[in-house]
Amino acid sequence: MSRDGHVGGAVRVSGLVKRFGPRAVLDRVDLEVPRGQVIGLLGLNGSGKSTLIKCLLGLLKADEGSATVLGTDAWQLADREKARIGYVPQEATLYPWLTVRQTVAYVSSFYSRWDRAWGEELLRRWDLPLGHRVGPLSVGQKQKLALVLALGHRPELLILDEPVASLDPVARRWFLETVLETAADGAGTVLFSTHITSDLERVASHVALLREGKVMFHDEIDVLKDRVKRLRIEAQADLPADLCLPGTLRQESRGRQALVTIDGVDAALVAGVRERFAAEVVVDNLNLEEIFLELHDGEAAATSRAR
Amino acid sequence: MIAILRQYALVLWAIVSRPWTLLMLGLGLLYVGPFLGAWLGGRAVPDGAMTAVPVVETPSVLGSFGAAELEEMARGGRLDSVTDLDTQAVGRQEAWGLVAPNGRGRSGSQLTRAADEGPGAWPLLDRFPSLDRLWMSPPDMLSEQGWERIGKHTALEVLSLPNVSSPDAETLSRFPMLARAALERLPNLRELDLRGTGGSFELLLPPLPKIEVLAIGWGRLEENLRTLADGSPRLRVLAIQTWFDIGFTPGMIASLRRMPNLRAVYVAGAYQAEDEPAMTRQVDELRRALPGVRVHPGTYRSSRVWTSFWATLLGMYLPFVFWFQSGLLLSTSLAWMLPRRLAPHLFWAMAAAAACGGIIVALLVSAGVAWMPALTLTLFATMLVAGGTLGEVEGIAGRISSIVLRVELIAGLAAAATALLAPWIIDRWLSGAMPWLSVTLLAAVIAASVWKLARQARLPRILASLGLANPPGLVIDVNQGTLPKQPAGSFANWQLKLAERAVDRQIDRPVPAPYGEMLRRSQPRIQMLLMVAIMLVVMVGMMWVIPVVIARGTGQPPPPLSRYLPGVIAAFAWQACVMTIAQTAGMWGQRRGSLVIDFLRPVSRAGYWRGLRQAIARDLSLPAVLGAVCLALAVGLDGKGGWWAWGVAAILLVGTFALTHAMILLLAVTRWPLVVGTLMVVLLVAAGIGIVIALSHVLSVSKPADLVMALVAAGAVLAVGLGIRMGVLWRLEEREIG
């Protein structure tokens, strides 16, 4: 349940298709984000993350399927729903002729529930020069300002499109803490896309992996980590070039040794490998970045092999 | 070598391959038409190519203002108090209908004849017993009765009758006697123009004791000059109509030397271009004979002035496209990294300027412009927008650039105003008759051009040092968001502070407010108002100052302000309308990025588009008012069109602003701002042509109004405007954003 009593998921996407010309940038995407969840969108450049976010914000119209945000069709978001959403784009496009102080005053005038004290606290925290015009600010400062503008009205749903790429490490830490604060009371939902997987691991409970417009994986990060692991195999004799293990994402074999990344590792599979190849098997846990790379490299290799 | 040539070719390709460049070059063709027209007009019509310099004062009221005033006085039965009458300007039938008994529905020429007196009798003059200034011009004629009636107006101080003819051979033969008899009865005459009047060769002037300004023909000149020297001590300005093969006799010179207050003499010895050298010889001869008196040519070539005007515009425009692209390319970081980046970028812009300049110089010279003025104008025009760093750059170099820019702006405006008010002065310079001025101006233009080239060469370094992406002044930054900090106390800084305070006031207004109003609150409009105010001050100021300067230079009285003020206001309104449309378009074009974010404020999709439409419409209210003032003055000044002229003007206004509103809306949300912006310019220029065509068919002085043609042109403007607006607004709410 939200602060004002609304029930239901924060974001619900079903069979979403978005085409630019003949190319489907989003291809039957399904995604559900309950309220209070912090979810990261992970994907390569061009995988459709920004397009998905723009569809959720009603900036782009889906060709097929549906997207609802805070219980309302994303294309028909009304002022009530928008007042509960905060958004930071990839490149903060603000008002270059205004000062920082004027920008905050201007944007806050749109929101009846703007938390002035919270806004000032954020400005102070990020050390933004109030009297300076926005145009000549650095990219990082503009991004910080965009975050202030997105957070000042204490949104129920915060959508962030690669927001931290231009921030310095200190600002990134502040940012992540702020995101956690937003989600801390369980009512705030955060959906953000990023390439920095360590940040995602730090704040997100869930992750959705996008690849070529499709959701490859969507679940808790811990589930993903449990599923995808790397086996280090050392056999008595030379190993075959293809071990033919189920769920293999990537395999490197050299003589009696092999490294195999597998989606869906369990005890039976490990025991089977030991028995079949008379080998010692060590199971390595992977962090999110490694899993991300393995998933993409593995898919690419599989596609290449199939060709 | 091949690598260098390849680099040059690549830079050229980078410049010309952009759709913007091609569109702008295409747009340049619009300038070529009038230029070629003026140039060919000047060459193809040698007869009558020379225009007489006006010397007597001109009517203080023009067009409908004179007619309206006359109508009002006729209705009030106060014609006996009318002091000024311009028969040409007050040509409206309604006016004559009221003035003349039973005159309604009759033509002006019919009204100048009495039933028993024939044409040229001017019985109407009897209704104006208080006249002290009278202007007549072709096709007016004067018969014996007409001359008699003029003679009865003994209070006349100004009488201007250039080229007024006689209705028949008998009157023509008696002209010297009739004119002299009339003039003898006018003791108060201060200004008199009799150039070409009634075949005035043999007119023997009577004593004119109060005459100050006189324009006469060649006939009996020696006697007439002696009469004037003996009995006209106040004579200041004398215009003499001569022939190319006539010289001044010692007797004439002696009489001229005996005129104590003579300040200026205009010698008109040429009526076609080929006679100009002969006139120059006459002028020189008289100038040597009369030290202390300004002696000038009495005729000038207006076609030369207009050819030069259009050539200057053409010369500005085409190289501008190349200088602009060169500046933009030079300011990219890639250009900064490239070896030998400068030479090819400068080369193509200079090549375009040189090619265009070469053609223009050749055409100007063939149109009769002397070499030095031709070079000066061409260099001024082709280098005007070179050196994209002019203005807003700090330090001494910035100040010099700023001075160069301002001097060029003032010089350009002054030249344009002088060409409008006193084209004969500009023509004198163009003909090469002012060598010292020519040398000075050429030297100044060369110095300014060298400076600009030097600044263009340093462009990448200047931009890097200022941390700018674009050369200041090259790309219009309406909100000045990307400018570096301005020096305290500077005008730019004052402007910024003014804009900042205006935004503060707007943001402090009560909320909630309609979304369109909220959208507008982030942008200051004060700079637009400031620009309009500055334009007004500069234009009115120049129109006030330049006539006085001209009067001092020529010895002629300045034309009365009331004569040209409505025209000046109309011109100002037109300029200000165009400039404020450009500012509004630039302002909303710059909001493209932030409008995406603004969509995510608490507003529905329908509310967003409605608010955006309303905000742009509100911003267009200032240019719309200015446009309406301009059209109202254009229609009111002429006044012959009646209600349909007002109707056509209203249609034009609606069509143009429907188009403008739609295009600015599109510009604010498009992904291709450069293409949409250029398209907007092209469409507005086309609408401008439509406006000129429509108005010229209802406001034509020389031919009857053609309502059908005017409605077709106005209808086309309206149809295009509404059509494009419908296209832009069609399913607007379904449009994706960003």
Burial state string for B79-116 with b = 16 or more CB within 10 A and e = fewer than 16: beebebbbbbbbbbbbbbbbbbeebeeeebeebbbbee
Q: How close, in Å, is residue A106 to chain B by CA atoms?
A: 6
Q: How close, in Å, is residue B579 to chain A by CA atoms?
A: 20
Residues 707-736 of B with CB under 8 A from A: 734, 736
Distance CA B365, CA B42 (A): 12
Highest CATH level, class, for A224-306 = alpha beta
Cβ–Cβ gap B481/A96 under 8 Å: yes
| A162 and A195 Cβ atoms separated by less than 8 Å | yes
For residue A190, pLDDT over 70 is answered with: yes
pLDDT of residue A194: 84
Which CA distances in Å does B424 have to A258, B41, B51, B293, B562? Answer: 96, 18, 9, 18, 21
For residue B457, pLDDT over 90 is answered with: no
Cβ–Cβ gap A59/B599 under 8 Å: yes
Q: Predicted confidence band at B89 (pLDDT cuts at 50, 70, 90)?
A: low
**CA dihedral for B262, B264, B268, B270, sign (positive or negative):** positive
B522 contacts in A (CB within 8 Å)? 95, 98, 102, 106
- Residue range B121-131, pLDDT digits in tens: 887 788 888 88
pLDDT of residue A100: 94
Catalogue the E-assigned strands of chain A. 11-20, 23-33, 38-43, 64-69, 72-73, 85-88, 157-161, 189-193, 206-211, 214-220, 228-235, 248-254, 257-263, 279-285
pLDDT of residue B729: 92
Q: Predicted confidence band at B492 (pLDDT cuts at 50, 70, 90)?
A: confident
| B387 and B458 Cβ atoms separated by less than 8 Å | no
For residue B91, pLDDT over 60 is answered with: no
Distance CA B455, CA B453 (A): 5
For residue A4, pLDDT over 50 is answered with: no
Cβ–Cβ gap B518/A133 under 8 Å: no
Q: A12-16, B17-21, B160-164, B426-430 — which is least confidently predicted?
A: B17-21
For residue B64, pLDDT over 50 is answered with: no
Maximal CA-CA distance, chain A: 73
Domain A11-212 fold = Rossmann fold (3.40.50)
- Residue range B606-656, pLDDT digits in tens: 999 999 999 999 999 999 999 998 888 878 765 555 777 888 899 999 999
Give the mean model confidence (pLDDT) for residues A97-120: 94
Q: How close, in Å, is residue B603 to chain A by CA atoms?
A: 4
> Which chain A residue has its CA at the smallest distance from B734's CA?
A61
Q: Predicted confidence band at B182 (pLDDT cuts at 50, 70, 90)?
A: very high
Q: Residues in chain A whose beta carbon is closer than 8 A to a beta carbon of chain B? A: 54, 57-61, 75-80, 82-83, 85, 87, 89, 93-99, 102, 105-107, 109-112, 133-136
Q: Predicted confidence band at B710 (pLDDT cuts at 50, 70, 90)?
A: confident
- Residue range B342-374, pLDDT digits in tens: 788 888 889 989 998 998 899 889 888 999 999
- Residue range B376-412, pLDDT digits in tens: 999 998 888 776 555 455 677 777 887 888 888 888 8
- Strand, helix or coil for residue A219: strand
Nearest C-alpha neighbor of B640 from the set B594, B580, B722, B696: B696
Question: What's the token pair of residue B491?
Answer: 């005008």
Give the mean model confidence (pLDDT) for residues A133-142: 86
Cβ–Cβ gap B503/A135 under 8 Å: no
Q: Hey, what amino acid is at A226?
A: D
pLDDT of residue B658: 96
Beta-strand relationship, A206-211 and A214-220: antiparallel
Give the mean model confidence (pLDDT) for residues A33-51: 90
Q: Please, what is the end-to-end C-alpha distance for chain A in angstroms?
A: 49
pLDDT of residue B407: 87
Q: Which burial class, exposed, middle or buried, applies to A212 when counting CB atoms under 10 A from its CB (0-12, 13-18, 19+)?
A: middle
Compute the mean pLDDT over every residue in chain A, rounded to the nearest whole number.
87
- Max mean pLDDT range (A33-37, B92-96, B161-165, B549-553): A33-37
Distance CA A206, CA A37 (A): 8
Q: How close, in Å, is residue B738 to chain A by CA atoms?
A: 7
Question: What's the token pair of residue A303?
Answer: 């596609």
For residue B415, pLDDT over 80 is answered with: yes
A155 versus B140: the higher-pLDDT residue is: A155
Which one of A78, A85, A95 has the shortest CB-CB distance to B600? Answer: A85
**H, E, C per residue of B277-313:** HHHHHHHHHHHHHCCCCEEEECEEEHHHHHHHHHHHH
Say yes or no: B596 contacts chain A, CB-CB below 8 A.
yes
What domains does chain B contain, in order, with CATH numbers? Answer: 1-42+307-472 (no CATH), 63-302 (3.80.10), 476-738 (no CATH)
- Residue range B667-689, pLDDT digits in tens: 999 888 878 888 898 898 889 88
pLDDT of residue B62: 47
When computed from its CA atoms, the radius of gyration of chain B, rounded to whole angstroms, is 30
Beta-strand relationship, B213-216 and B237-241: parallel
Cβ–Cβ gap A61/B604 under 8 Å: no
- Strand, helix or coil for residue A191: strand
Query: How many A-B residue pairs are in contact by the CB < 8 A criterion?
Result: 90
Q: Predicted confidence band at B158 (pLDDT cuts at 50, 70, 90)?
A: very high
Which one of A93, A135, A136 has the shortest CB-CB distance to B596? Answer: A93
When computed from its CA atoms, the radius of gyration of chain A, rounded to whole angstroms, is 22
Distance CA B13, CA B618 (A): 42
Cβ–Cβ gap B500/A105 under 8 Å: no
Q: How close, in Å, is residue B481 to chain A by CA atoms?
A: 4
Maximal CA-CA distance, chain B: 92
pLDDT of residue B250: 92
Distance CA B696, CA B690 (A): 10
Most A CBs within 10 A among B522, B527, B598, B605, hence the mutation to make, goes to B522
Cβ–Cβ gap A136/B484 under 8 Å: yes
- Max mean pLDDT range (A192-196, A301-305, B284-288): B284-288
pLDDT of residue A5: 44
For residue A3, pLDDT over 70 is answered with: no
Nearest C-alpha neighbor of B475 from the set B640, B638, B329: B329
C-beta contacts of B567-573 below 8 A and 24+ residues apart: B567/B62, B567/B633, B567/B637, B568/B539, B568/B540, B568/B543, B569/B629, B569/B633, B570/B629, B570/B630, B570/B633, B570/B634, B570/B637, B571/B539, B572/B535, B572/B536, B572/B539, B572/B540, B573/B626, B573/B627, B573/B629, B573/B630, B573/B633
Distance CA A249, CA B466 (A): 52
B506 versus B78: the higher-pLDDT residue is: B506
Q: Predicted confidence band at B10 (pLDDT cuts at 50, 70, 90)?
A: confident
Give the mean model confidence (pLDDT) for residues B215-231: 90
Phi, psi at residue B206, to the nearest 5°?
Answer: -80, 170
Q: Which residues, in sequence order, are CB contacts of B692 under 8 Å at separation 6+?
A: none
A93 contacts in B (CB within 8 Å)? 593-594, 596-597
Cβ–Cβ gap A102/B596 under 8 Å: no
- Strand, helix or coil for residue B216: strand
Pinpoint the residues of chain A covered by CATH 3.30.70.
224-306
Cβ–Cβ gap A110/B521 under 8 Å: no
pLDDT of residue B90: 58
B500 contacts in A (CB within 8 Å)? 99, 102
Pinpoint the residues of chain A covered by CATH 3.40.50.300.
11-212
Nearest C-alpha neighbor of A114 from the set A105, A124, A125: A105
Q: A141-155, A172-186, A212-226, B44-58 — which is least confidently predicted?
A: B44-58
pLDDT of residue B210: 93
Give the mean model confidence (pLDDT) for residues B456-481: 61
Q: A225-229, B70-74, B152-156 — which is least confidently predicted?
A: B70-74
Q: How close, in Å, is residue A154 to chain B by CA atoms?
A: 14
Distance CA B668, CA B662 (A): 10
Q: Predicted confidence band at B595 (pLDDT cuts at 50, 70, 90)?
A: very high
Q: Side by side, which strands form the sheet with B213-216?
A: B84-86, B133-135, B158-160, B191-193, B213-216, B237-241, B264-268, B294-297
Q: How close, in Å, is residue B506 to chain A by CA atoms?
A: 9
Compute the mean pLDDT over every residue in chain B, rounded to the nearest whole number.
81
For residue A6, pLDDT over 50 is answered with: no
A26 contacts in B (CB within 8 Å)? none
CA atoms within 13 A on the CB side of B138: 8
Cβ–Cβ gap B602/A133 under 8 Å: no
Cβ–Cβ gap A105/B507 under 8 Å: yes
For residue B229, pLDDT over 80 is answered with: yes
Q: How close, in Å, is residue A56 to chain B by CA atoms?
A: 11
